[in-house]
Structure 1
């Protein structure tokens, strides 16, 4: 379910889509439990805030894992051949994502909360590729995608994989900068735009 969630409303009695979902689909009154310190309306605000904070880094990292899961597995015959072809096509840039260079439990660390590790490697990999190398890498990736389950393959499928990985990695990197942002930084941002 995708909902538009506003933090606050100009109309005090106007419910946003998440609050409407709680009341209509889950049959939960927004002031439930009456007199409680934490109501369903509060839960909606908390859920929206948590989604804003984690959607870009955790969900995008999960998506990056899914993208790599669509490729041949390291340590298998297909995987050894595939990763050799990636190294041949991508040159030194491919070392950023080469399984032997990333270390064994790299994806375990991402799964357990290392938020920007794979993102920075993917952005370095793609940023260092020459246009001809990117085309060659897209060919290699596209040739390895399972057309039956994904629906595309070849250079087009490979280019889609690269674009998706690039945008997902960018979202993780962009969200990671917020770790260093304070409430004063955020207020300074709004104030500067109000005065612009």
Structure 2
């Protein structure tokens, strides 16, 4: 599979813990041991092309497996060069370089990733906010959790619909959703 992807000009990172040599052989298996599992899935499409108008991001919870498209998942495609650039920067941090050859020594994951920069973008007239977890060690990255809590507390006017694999009652986001629902301020709908 790796040879096929490389032949098509596609570079990828997955969370199986293996670092591959250019010939497809396993070079190292340190990613999982370093806590570098990746749950978020995304692809930057045409992000390296010379035409910024064709840049797209595919993102969501859908696993790229035989059953991924049949399970309870979501996906969204956004056509915007600035958003694609933010995702490309996020990818390059984990890849460790900005070319086709990964640099495991320069790769950064989880709290070692730097802040990508902007969070608020406009695609035509639609406001799109982009956040990458977790907060980095310096604390310069905004907290996704804090932003979601803020949106629910200050912007939700009628209802909150959500899709989540599991809800942990002790985290601030879950507590906020339950509190707002319990007061009757918002209707809560989830799957």
Q: Report TM bin, short chain.
A: under 0.3
Structure of greater Rg? 1
Greater relative contact order, per chain length (Cα 8 Å cut-off, separation 6+): 1
TM-score normalized by the length of structure 2? 0.25
TM-score normalized by the length of structure 1? 0.24
Larger relative helix fraction: 1
